[in-house]
């Protein structure tokens, strides 16, 4: 009788959080779909976790349909952390067993497996649980580009991070502090302590305290009314920088930008996390089946920081 172990049965189907139409959080379905196969230039990743980004709620609702129309049905999930299980033709920089992270511009990470272009991947941080690494790509890339490319934060500057309680804010506070700035941050009561732990020199309750003036830079991460957006302009000293990833600021020199994917930048960020020079702040870790609830809570303003979702 043979003592050889039986070959593993190939996984042919998986669960995926998909939307078949735009609408309320209840449109998110727990579907059973075929496991994708990597084409040339791609790898197959067994997903350890994805993470929730508030902009995905706007995507799901249809609010972004004219900017980012979706091929329906659509699998959610822009952030991925996982293990490469298979590589497509032409892929040499990663192999089976590698721990990787990526921002997936076409989504797909809210599933058990996802096929991803190899040139989007970066090594996952050493020493960090792989599930936690899913909090990094979208939020940290956005913060990096806001702080270093657009605000050009430098030592000795006074920088305000407006709306610092979210996932981008946590990274922006740390990166601005690492750049040598004095970091002021607006945050709700439920987020203030966490933001201080990440390095903010001062947290401001925007509902009860005036915002500081004579700033070298303001990085706005919050959705604002037109009046509130206009009120940020007088806070900047002459020659200062006003940057927003959310509501555009009506000022001639204000910068409103959309984050670009950058695997080299993501690898630098991952190395900083691995060397413990940058912290990953996880607010919650939930099973993927809870994704509709997370969307509902986010739209009600009841979430903070990064929320990890594991298959």
DSSP H/E element including 115: strand 113-117
Q: In what order do the strands lie in the sheet with 74-75?
A: 28-34, 13-19, 74-75
- The dihedral through the CA atoms of 160, 247, 26, 74 has a sign that is negative
Residue with tokens 């200062």: 240
CA dist 33 and 44 (Å) reads 15
CA dist 135 and 237 (Å) reads 34
The confidence score (pLDDT) of residue 206 equals 81
CB atoms closer than 10 angstroms to residue 276: 11
Residue 116's alpha-carbon distances to 32, 38, 52, 108, 133, in angstroms, are 19, 7, 18, 9, 17
The confidence score (pLDDT) of residue 83 equals 98
CA dist 6 and 260 (Å) reads 45
**What six digits make up the tokens of 288?**
């993927």
Is 199 within 8 Å of 173 (Cβ atoms)? yes
Residue 292 φ/ψ region, left for φ over 0, alpha for ψ in the -120 to 50 degree band, beta for the rest: alpha
CA dist 119 and 169 (Å) reads 27
Round the CA-based radius of gyration of the chain to a whole number and report it. 20
The confidence score (pLDDT) of residue 1 equals 42
Q: Considering only CA atoms, which of 133, 109, 62, 113 is closest in space to residue 280?
A: 133
pLDDT tens string, the chain, 311 residues long: the values are 445 555 455 779 999 999 999 999 999 999 999 999 999 999 999 999 999 999 999 999 999 999 889 999 999 999 999 999 999 999 999 999 999 999 999 999 999 999 999 999 999 999 999 999 999 999 999 999 999 999 999 999 999 999 999 999 999 999 999 999 999 999 888 889 999 999 999 999 988 888 999 999 999 999 899 999 999 999 999 999 999 999 999 998 999 999 999 999 999 999 999 999 999 999 999 999 999 999 999 999 888 889 999 99
CA dist 310 and 111 (Å) reads 9
The confidence score (pLDDT) of residue 190 equals 83
Which class for 34: exposed (0-12), middle (13-18), buried (19 or more C-beta within 10 A)?
A: exposed
Name residue 113's beta-bridge partners: 46
Is 42 within 8 Å of 116 (Cβ atoms)? yes
Residue 172 φ/ψ region, left for φ over 0, alpha for ψ in the -120 to 50 degree band, beta for the rest: alpha
The confidence score (pLDDT) of residue 99 equals 98
- Please list, in sequence order, all residues whose beta carbon lies within 8 angstroms of the beta carbon of residue 145, skipping any fewer than 6 positions away: 257, 259, 260, 262, 265
Question: Is the N-terminal amide bond of 57 cis, ω within 30° of 0?
Answer: no
């Amino acid at each position: 009788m043979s003592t050889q172990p039986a070959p593993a049965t190939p996984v042919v189907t998986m669960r995926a959080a998909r939307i078949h139409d735009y609408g309320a959080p209840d449109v998110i379905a727990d579907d059973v779909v075929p496991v994708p196969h990597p084409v040339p230039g791609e790898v197959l990743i067994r997903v350890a976790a994805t993470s929730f980004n508030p902009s995905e709620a706007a995507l799901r609702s249809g609010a972004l349909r004219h900017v980012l129309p979706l091929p329906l049905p659509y699998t959610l999930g822009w952030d991925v952390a996982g293990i490469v299980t298979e590589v497509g033709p032409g892929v040499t920089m990663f192999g089976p067993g590698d721990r990787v992270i990526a921002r997936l511009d076409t989504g797909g990470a809210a599933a058990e497996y996802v096929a991803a272009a190899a040139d989007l991947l970066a090594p996952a941080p050493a020493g960090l649980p792989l599930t936690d690494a899913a909090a990094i790509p979208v939020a940290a890339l956005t913060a990096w580009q806001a702080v270093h490319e657009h605000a050009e934060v430098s030592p000795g500057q006074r920088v305000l991070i407006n709306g610092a309680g979210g996932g981008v804010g946590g990274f922006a506070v740390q990166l601005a502090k690492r750049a040598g700035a004095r970091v002021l941050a607006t945050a709700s009561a439920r987020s203030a302590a966490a933001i201080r732990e990440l390095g903010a020199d001062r947290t401001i309750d925007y509902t009860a305290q005036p915002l500081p003036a004579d700033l070298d830079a303001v990085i706005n991460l919050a959705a604002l009314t037109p009046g509130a957006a206009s009120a940020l302009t007088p806070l900047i000293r002459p020659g200062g920088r006003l940057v927003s990833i959310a509501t555009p600021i009506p000022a001639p020199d204000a910068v409103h930008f959309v984050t670009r994917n950058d695997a080299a930048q993501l690898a630098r960020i991952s190395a900083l996390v691995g060397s413990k020079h940058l912290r990953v702040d996880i607010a919650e870790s939930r099973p993927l089946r809870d994704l509709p609830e997370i969307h509902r809570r986010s739209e009600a303003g009841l979430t903070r920081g990064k929320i990890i979702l594991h298959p």
